Amino acid sequence: MLDEAPRDQLRQGLAQVRELLEKQRLVEGLAHRDRSQRHELVESLVHRQHLSELHTKLSRLHIADVAYILTVLPPDERLLVWRQTGRNRGGDVLLEVPEEVRQWLIEAMEPGELTEVLNQLDAEDLAYIADELPEDALQQRLQSLTLQDRQWLVSTMAYDEDAVGHLMSPDMVTVREDFTLGQVLETLRNLEAMPIHSDKLLVVNGRGILTGVLSLSALLLGSPSGTVAGTMATNVVTFRPEEMAREAAKAFERYDLASAPVVNERGKLLGRLTVDVVMDYIREEQEEKILVRAGLSGGEDLFASVWDSARNRWLWLSINLFTAFLASRVIGLFEGTIAQVVALAALMPIVSGVGGNTGNQTTAIIIRGLALEQIGHTNLWRLARKELAVSLLNGLVWGGVMGLVAYGLYWNPGLGLVMAAAMLLNMLIAGVVGLAVPLGLERWGRDPALGSSVLLTATTDAMGFFIFLGLASLFLL
């Protein structure tokens, strides 16, 4: 029978940790109420016993599960659990928690405590979190590295945070072309361990140039007397350290990779990129995008303070207030018209709102096409014509429907016609803007997934009000 796997342990683990924390809180509560010497002694024993139970429980959990538990606990309990994660696992846990929780932990630790945790990390791990560390703590840790590790760390940190060079690992197994497979098998037996996701060995020549890869399958299935040169594959998917991780992620998906070598422009082997790092990168980028799109600047800790959370949201709210203000001023231009036909005030949010929705549909199609690199010179014009035709059709259909509704509500045929015309025009504008905004942002090197929605809604709101109230001023007064 199989043992208990990490997943099963996690299911019970969180509940047990919470139970222990609950007991802990009770003990602390008691200690506050009764301060007599004898009680305190007993309670401190109970206290220590709970903590050691917690410590034992945590030390049995997988690192990733301890990280998860830390993330979902509110600050006071988070610190208690963190202090019990054990001196020897703090470093690994720190790597595993989300960035916003890591920042919280780093701030919560004493300098000495931080040093101790950082000493558990090797050069690769340090590179991963280096930009989040206090400068002095990082410098102090750098001093204690070997020269080679320090050089590797410094060169890695020089790459952009989103570049392959920042995510690559120095851990890899290399072999020489002139070995036989039998010799390779012998050599491997002398290793203590293989790095994670070693699905292939990297074949290099004397000058460190990558000449091919030997997959473990080929190694295992081949005859021991065959040579590496005769068995290895030479059509290798490689990456440059300065390439964007996003591009690498696409290649990992497209070619079903578990690991891939990173080489410089001369073909020299620099490091290795693995699928776990790529998956983490995709997930983090995706989560961050969802938050940023909703107007939160980057990762917000679930338990950030009210003040921090509020400030984190102000930039977006102030931009939205500003565009709402502009739209409001457009309406302000037509106050005279509204005073004469009050029904306009009730109908105008329909024109602006539905325009925004049509535009957002077009924008979503374009953003996806851009993300998947499916849009280029040759098909752009065709795509634009299609989207505009859809806008026109939608404008005719829904403009017609709402024109009839407006007529039915107010028994005013002119108002119905103005409503229908304004909806048609605003939906056409929404189509054009919904196409132009993401394409423009992409051309200026901005991420179209982030700014498009605000720009689009600002336009469809202001234009919706302007067209509807303008047409009404011309034809209804």
CB 281 within 8 Å of CB 168: no
**By CB under 8 A, which span of 35-43, 51-59, 129-137, 378-386 interacts with a second copy?**
378-386
Among 41, 45, 158, 221, binds a second copy (CB under 8 A): 221
Where do runs of H (alpha helix) occur along 306-342? 306-333, 335-340
Residue 212 found at the interface with a second copy (CB under 8 A): yes
Q: What is the DSSP letter of 202?
A: E
| DSSP assignments along 235-283, one per residue | ----B-TTSBHHHHHHHHHHTT-SEEEEE-TT-BEEEEEEHHHHHHHHH
**What's the CA gap between 151 and 137, in Å, rounded?**
18
Residue 380 found at the interface with a second copy (CB under 8 A): no
Among 36, 143, 206, 306, binds a second copy (CB under 8 A): 306
Binding map of a second copy across residues 424-453, x = CB under 8 A, - = no contact: ------------------------------
Please, what is the minimum distance in Å from the beta carbon of residue 99 to a second copy? Answer: 13
Residues whose CB is less than 8 angstroms from the CB of residue 473 and which lie 6 or more positions away in sequence, other chains included: 334, 337
Among 110, 193, 206, 207, binds a second copy (CB under 8 A): 193
Q: Please identify, using beta-carbon distances, which residue of 89 and 150 lies nearer to a second copy.
A: 89
Residues in the chain: 477
List residues bridging with 201 in a β-sheet.
214
**By CB under 8 A, which span of 82-90, 104-112, 131-139, 340-348 interacts with a second copy?**
340-348
Residue 360 found at the interface with a second copy (CB under 8 A): yes
- In 10 A of CB 425, how many CB atoms? 21
Selection from 286, 294, 262, 259 nearest residue 275 by Cα: 259
Residue 283 found at the interface with a second copy (CB under 8 A): yes
Residues contacting a second copy: total by CB under 8 A: 136
Please, what is the minimum distance in Å from the beta carbon of residue 79 to a second copy? Answer: 15
Residue 131 found at the interface with a second copy (CB under 8 A): no
**By CB under 8 A, which span of 80-88, 111-119, 141-149, 306-314 interacts with a second copy?**
306-314
Please, what is the minimum distance in Å from the beta carbon of residue 269 to a second copy? Answer: 11
70-77: Cβ within 8 A, 24+ apart: 70/97, 70/101, 70/105, 71/97, 71/98, 71/101, 71/302, 72/14, 72/302, 73/21, 74/303, 75/104, 75/303, 77/21
Site for a second copy in 1-20 (CB under 8 A): 1-7, 14, 18
Residue 357 found at the interface with a second copy (CB under 8 A): yes
Please, what is the minimum distance in Å from the beta carbon of residue 106 to a second copy? Answer: 20
